[in-house]
Chain A
């Protein structure tokens, strides 16, 4: 009995000790990562944390580094590719050792950026040249820069769609559903593939936000209004997803889908359509080449909604690259970010939108240009707030759960009606906003 008491006591002491040292000492607030004046004079060894494990493995990143060394011979660049990027970096960021250059993980709250990252300059100065600066702006200073921009849309197999007799882009959700029905009846393809089991493809549906109403203030609307109010962007998108599944236009068994396997299936025309982003086009075309089908069959279309006769597509940044505030080689790190954003050709290689405002559109988006699709940059001033409400409410518009529930609801694996489902989401959203406001 005595011994047990001693043990309990020591656990209590440990608990006290632990609570005393839980507060991490990240007090270095507000450092700057200045661009070096003379690129050839910068020296130092930097580690770049990246989520692109594929590019590190196949040596592409090494090639970028070699290219970078031509103008910056004194900088040694090393890559640290992380498979579970979010999860691993989040834990590493409890220390000071999280690389010199890293992608800002989604978990970091905007207000904490100055504690973790060095500033790249003022917004006024950077916004003139780059897109997406306000996604990483805190108090007028910019802390990250995305090397590419993406546009959400439906990836579709042109051949399958034309076999079904559809050649023009649908302009309303109802038309889109009709087209999918035509595909179901006239071809063997699965009209729409949800990728339910891998979860993250479902989160892509949040990027509908802005495309329906063509409003650059769509993110602010999320923070201030009910995202599932009648006619709101997310409601329109979620209703379409619901109707696709309810109408039997999605794969028969969503619970055992497989993302990797879905790529060749789309390429071969076994799947007709998927809602993703322009970033996926390269991967699908590569899959088509491997499967021996024509990569040109993989095409891209905007969300079926028009405002004043024009489609709208929202541009959004990928991960933002930033400099670790604790880095010993901030100049070298900054030089890498600048070079990677401006000169590496990374955006072009990924058929993505360049973060440079004056760069031309990538080939993938040429059809968009021809048909007058309006590309809009959302105002992200309230982006941080939206994320906080999202987490607080546990709704998760950037997480897969609620859309999995939506799909379950649509295919009858969950009880309830769609209206009640949206009402409940709206209520939780409003409640969370109120609790944060008080």
Chain B
């Protein structure tokens, strides 16, 4: 890599003025342009990153100190007023209880994904087919999933008729009560994101050298022993990444409940609540503050997790 950059940089040297440092001794020219080259390659992605990630965040932080309603040309600076309001209204944080459902669901999701990834990394019949089946839901657009599952959970819909085939009681409003609705929605979320976890795990497992299994088998290790002592430690970094992602994901669940129930019947999550504050009650300032608070919470949770489970170098051999 380094060689090619030097090659690319060579045509530029002393002849072309390399910025204001023209007067610098001859060797500095190529060195400077060599240092500049990677930045040149980075200009486009950095510009995109700044424009579409950091500038909006900066804007949002700025709004969180105002009473802006989202459209009025007039806005006034309210200092930390929005943050005080947020922190003194405890009912705004009650919605985090809903995240509990998704947290439990993500445990199920990780265990399932780990199980499937382990099984399918060995030689199983139709393994590629099953890999496809498991990963497929992740490729579907979230909005489509929301609509499909609305029909699925409908009174007398797919789920009811399938249960009916087994003679089970089919008269159930799946999204009818807070418990049932949240469980159903969390189930959809497991269905959707299982594939992503699965692929991550599968990739990690396959990077473990095959000789290890052979050696283990010769030593008389069962499949469980192989999992316990080879696979689990081998994919630890990916595992801890998945846990972090699913915890922060559980705190900021949005699209599935928003599309399917709009937050009705006790399925409102913190992000849905923020969206409603901003676009329904026109409290953009307060909503921005809520978004900042969520960001801080997610950062804090991640930091705590990293503290508890530090990132270690994996060394199997």
Binding site for B on A (CB under 8 A): 10-11, 14-15, 17-19, 22-27, 87, 90, 93-94, 105, 107-109, 112, 115, 196-197, 199, 252-253, 255-256, 391-392, 394, 396, 399-401, 404, 408, 411, 413-414
The answer to whether B175 and A15 have CB atoms under 8 Å apart is no
Interface membership of B4, Cβ < 8 A? no
Q: How far is the CB of B56 from chain A (nearest CB, A)?
A: 9
The answer to whether B264 and A24 have CB atoms under 8 Å apart is no
The answer to whether B264 and A408 have CB atoms under 8 Å apart is yes
Closest 10 CB pairs of A and B: A19-B62, A253-B155, A255-B175, A14-B58, A253-B173, A15-B58, A26-B73, A256-B154, A18-B59, A404-B264
Q: Which residues of B contact A14 (CB under 8 A)?
A: 50, 54-55, 58
The answer to whether B173 and A252 have CB atoms under 8 Å apart is yes
Q: How far is the CB of A390 from chain B (nearest CB, A)?
A: 8
Against A, the Cβ 8 Å flags (1 = close, 0 = not) of B171-184 are 00111111001000
Number of A-B residue pairs at CB separation under 8 A: 116
CB-CB nearest in chain B for A256: B154
Against A, the Cβ 8 Å flags (1 = close, 0 = not) of B277-299 are 10111110000000000000000
Tally B residues with Cβ within 8 Å of A.
45
Interface membership of B13, Cβ < 8 A? no
Given known A-B contacts A18-B62, A197-B261, A256-B154, A109 and B69 have beta carbons under 8 A apart? yes
Q: A11-B57, A256-B157 are in contact. List 18 more A-B contacts (CB 8 A).
A: A11-B54, A15-B62, A17-B58, A18-B55, A19-B59, A22-B59, A93-B71, A107-B71, A108-B71, A112-B72, A115-B73, A197-B264, A255-B181, A391-B283, A396-B281, A401-B263, A401-B280, A408-B264
Q: Which residues of A contact B68 (CB under 8 A)?
A: 22
Interface membership of B301, Cβ < 8 A? no
- Please pick, from B176, B263, B264, B281, the residue contacting A394 in the complex, using a CB distance under 8 A: B281
Q: How far is the CB of A229 from chain B (nearest CB, A)?
A: 23
Given known A-B contacts A112-B72, A404-B265, A253 and B59 have beta carbons under 8 A apart? no
Q: How far is the CB of A118 from chain B (nearest CB, A)?
A: 16
Q: How far is the CB of A202 from chain B (nearest CB, A)?
A: 10
Against A, the Cβ 8 Å flags (1 = close, 0 = not) of B134-167 are 0000000000000000110111010000000000
CB-CB nearest in chain B for A90: B71
A252 vs B160: C-alpha distance when bound (angstroms): 14
- Please pick, from A18, A197, A255, A414, the residue contacting B58 in the complex, using a CB distance under 8 A: A18
Contacts of B269-317 to chain A: CB distance below 8 A? 276-277, 279-283
Q: Which residues of A contact B282 (CB under 8 A)?
A: 107, 391
Given known A-B contacts A253-B154, A255-B173, A23 and B262 have beta carbons under 8 A apart? no
The answer to whether A413 and B265 have CB atoms under 8 Å apart is yes
The answer to whether B62 and A22 have CB atoms under 8 Å apart is yes
The answer to whether B70 and A107 have CB atoms under 8 Å apart is yes
> Do most interface residues of chain B lie in helix, strand or loop, or is the interface mixed?
loop
Q: Which residues of A contact B58 (CB under 8 A)?
A: 11, 14-15, 17-18
Q: Which residues of B contact A22 (CB under 8 A)?
A: 59, 62-63, 66, 68, 75
The answer to whether A255 and B264 have CB atoms under 8 Å apart is yes
A199 vs B69: C-alpha distance when bound (angstroms): 23
A87 vs B153: C-alpha distance when bound (angstroms): 29
Interface membership of B61, Cβ < 8 A? yes
Interface membership of B266, Cβ < 8 A? yes
Q: How far is the CB of B203 from chain A (nearest CB, A)?
A: 29
The answer to whether A199 and B262 have CB atoms under 8 Å apart is yes
Q: How far is the CB of A197 from chain B (nearest CB, A)?
A: 7
**Most B CB atoms within 10 A — which of A10, A115, A255, A411?**
A255
A394 vs B276: C-alpha distance when bound (angstroms): 9
A317 vs B261: C-alpha distance when bound (angstroms): 29
- Please pick, from A17, A25, A391, the residue contacting B281 in the complex, using a CB distance under 8 A: A391
Q: How far is the CB of A23 from chain B (nearest CB, A)?
A: 7
Given known A-B contacts A22-B63, A391-B281, A255 and B176 have beta carbons under 8 A apart? yes
A18 vs B57: C-alpha distance when bound (angstroms): 10
A15 vs B262: C-alpha distance when bound (angstroms): 32
The answer to whether A256 and B280 have CB atoms under 8 Å apart is no
A115 vs B69: C-alpha distance when bound (angstroms): 15
Q: Which residues of A contact B261 (CB under 8 A)?
A: 197, 255
The answer to whether A23 and B280 have CB atoms under 8 Å apart is no
Can you list 17 A-B pairs, Cβ within 8 angstroms, ordered by A?
A: A14-B58, A27-B73, A90-B70, A107-B71, A108-B72, A112-B71, A252-B173, A253-B154, A253-B173, A255-B173, A256-B150, A256-B153, A256-B154, A404-B262, A404-B264, A413-B178, A414-B178
CB-CB nearest in chain B for A399: B280
Q: Which residues of B contact A252 (CB under 8 A)?
A: 155, 173
A194 vs B133: C-alpha distance when bound (angstroms): 38
CB-CB nearest in chain B for A395: B281
Q: Which residues of B contact A404 (CB under 8 A)?
A: 262, 264-265
A10 vs B54: C-alpha distance when bound (angstroms): 9
The answer to whether A399 and B155 have CB atoms under 8 Å apart is no
The answer to whether B71 and A87 have CB atoms under 8 Å apart is no
The answer to whether B176 and A413 have CB atoms under 8 Å apart is yes
CB-CB nearest in chain A for B153: A256
**Most A CB atoms within 10 A — which of B73, B155, B264, B282?**
B264
A355 vs B280: C-alpha distance when bound (angstroms): 28
A199 vs B181: C-alpha distance when bound (angstroms): 17
The answer to whether B72 and A256 have CB atoms under 8 Å apart is no
A392 vs B265: C-alpha distance when bound (angstroms): 23
A104 vs B290: C-alpha distance when bound (angstroms): 28
Contacts of B249-269 to chain A: CB distance below 8 A? 261-266
Q: How far is the CB of B232 from chain A (nearest CB, A)?
A: 32
Q: Which residues of B contact A109 (CB under 8 A)?
A: 69, 72
Q: How far is the CB of A251 from chain B (nearest CB, A)?
A: 8
Q: How far is the CB of A6 from chain B (nearest CB, A)?
A: 13
- Please pick, from B55, B69, B276, B283, the residue contacting A401 in the complex, using a CB distance under 8 A: B276
The answer to whether B279 and A87 have CB atoms under 8 Å apart is yes
Q: Which residues of B contact A408 (CB under 8 A)?
A: 264-266
Q: How far is the CB of B67 from chain A (nearest CB, A)?
A: 11
The answer to whether A94 and B62 have CB atoms under 8 Å apart is no
CB-CB nearest in chain B for A26: B73
A400 vs B261: C-alpha distance when bound (angstroms): 12
Q: Which residues of B contact A112 (CB under 8 A)?
A: 71-74
Q: How far is the CB of B224 from chain A (nearest CB, A)?
A: 43
A316 vs B173: C-alpha distance when bound (angstroms): 36
